[in-house]
Amino acid sequence: MTGLVRFGISTEKDLLAKFDRLMNDRGYTNRSKAFSDLVRQELVKREWTEGKEVAGAIIMIYDHHKRELVNKLMDIQHDFNKVIMSTQHIHLDHDNCLEIVAIKGTAVEVQKLADILKSVRGVKHTTLGMSSTGKHI
């Protein structure tokens, strides 16, 4: 952050009312923070679409009982050790494991890892939390 500036925005009355409702629903108490976050969200999206260095997390739910699956997921993660910062494994219940894979690397590599993990048989659900290294937003 390099100092704050104030500026005016002209927009339709209806759109501003919708922005305020959205802002309130999401817990914002002032327009400046809500607006800044919207802009940053777009900048982060662009980091991903333009293949920049990104950070985030892959979250997976999978079947604990498939032993070959656990080994396969580990083999894949070893192949991507350059983009994986850490992996947290949580035994959700008797049958299910939750794994959080923290990542930092090029958007292409990270997306490739997420796609490979998602496609493994026995993986029930995967999400990719697309965030930023924070350097350029």
**Residues between 64 and 83 with contacts to Ni ion, criterion CB under 5 A:** 64
Closest distance of CB 60 from Ni ion, Å: 11
Other C-beta atoms within 10 Å of 86: how many?
9
Which residue number, 69 or 116, has a Cβ lying nearer to Ni ion? 69
Alpha carbon distance 88, 135 (integer Å): 25
* Per-residue b or e along 13-25, where b marks 16 or more CB atoms closer than 10 Å to that residue's CB: eeeeeebeeebee
Which residue number, 64 or 112, has a Cβ lying nearer to Ni ion? 64
Tally of helices (H runs) and strands (E runs) in the chain: 4, 4
Closest distance of CB 68 from Ni ion, Å: 15
Residues whose CB is less than 8 angstroms from the CB of residue 72 and which lie 6 or more positions away in sequence, other chains included:
120
Q: Which one of the spans 6-14, 37-45, 92-100, 128-136 is the region binding Ni ion (CB under 5 A)?
A: 92-100
Q: Which one of the spans 30-38, 51-59, 84-92, 110-118 is the region binding Ni ion (CB under 5 A)?
A: 84-92
The binder of Ni ion chosen from 54, 97, 103, 117 (CB under 5 A)? 97
Which residue number, 25 or 93, has a Cβ lying nearer to Ni ion? 93
Contacts with Ni ion by CB under 5 A: the residue count is 3
Residue whose C-beta lies closest to Ni ion: 97
Residues that bind Ni ion (CB under 5 A): 64, 91, 97
